[in-house]
């Protein structure tokens, strides 16, 4: 069973389990790790190829306006965001605690607006990968909230299925 298997990995990061420790049932209680693994497997070949192809050259960083407007904080670097979300999910084969998913939420919603401007000379599609990571988190009932207005349309859509958060009736739809 995924939730009680021993997890091994590399260096310990915030929210990451130490090598040789086990996730308790309590930690994985509300995480459907089988579902996460199934989603990861659906795009495994392409996503793992992209993750492996990243040369950590950081060339994508300067094309990300959030990285540039946050004093080049590495937490906003496109490759960092992918490695510490989707990359971590693949590395752990979906065996993650809710606390780890919550950390990813901050990274892939707060630190990225999926504007699609990041450029990778190797053709790695960072927004596509971060979008996939969001889908996985949504499958666990986790939805990020942007701290800035650029995210309003997505938050509105999730709230009311309308990107302007205007009800159907107000938009002239009698059935709304």
Residue ranges binding ligand SF4 (CB under 6 A): 54-60, 63-64, 66, 78-79, 81, 112-118, 120-122, 124, 126-127
Q: Measured from the CB of residue 53, what is the shortest distance to ligand SF4 in angstroms?
A: 7
State the alpha helices, DSSP H only, in 54-125: 65-69, 78-83, 86-91, 98-105
Residue with Cβ nearer ligand SF4 (119 or 156): 119
Rounded Cα distance, 34 and 45, in Å: 18
Q: Measured from the CB of residue 43, what is the shortest distance to ligand SF4 in angstroms?
A: 17
Among residues 73, 10, 39, 33, which one has the least CA distance to residue 81?
73
Rounded Cα distance, 57 and 64, in Å: 14
Among residues 62, 66, 87, 63, which one has the least CA distance to residue 75?
66
Q: Measured from the CB of residue 157, what is the shortest distance to ligand SF4 in angstroms?
A: 18
Residue with Cβ nearer ligand SF4 (96 or 120): 120
Residue with Cβ nearer ligand SF4 (114 or 152): 114
CB atoms within 10 A of CB 68: 13
Residue with Cβ nearer ligand SF4 (7 or 60): 60
Q: Measured from the CB of residue 114, what is the shortest distance to ligand SF4 in angstroms?
A: 5
């Amino acid at each position: 069973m995924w939730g009680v298997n021993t997890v091994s990995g590399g260096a310990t990061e915030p929210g990451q389990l130490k090598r040789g420790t086990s996730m308790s049932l309590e930690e994985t209680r509300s995480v459907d790790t089988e579902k996460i693994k199934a989603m990861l497997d659906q795009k495994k070949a392409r996503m793992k190829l992209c993750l492996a192809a990243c040369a950590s050259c950081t060339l994508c960083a300067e094309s990300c306006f959030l990285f540039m407007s946050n004093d080049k904080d590495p937490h906003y670097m496109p490759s960092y965001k992918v490695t510490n979300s989707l990359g971590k999910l693949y590395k752990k084969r979906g065996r993650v605690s809710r606390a780890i998913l919550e950390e990813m939420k901050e990274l892939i919603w707060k630190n990225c607006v999926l504007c699609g401007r990041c450029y990778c000379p190797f053709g790695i599609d960072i927004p596509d990968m971060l979008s996939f990571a969001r889908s996985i988190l949504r499958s666990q009932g986790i939805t990020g909230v942007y701290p800035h207005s650029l995210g309003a349309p997505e938050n509105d859509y999730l709230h009311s299925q309308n990107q302007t958060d205007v009800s159907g009736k107000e938009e002239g739809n009698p059935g709304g």
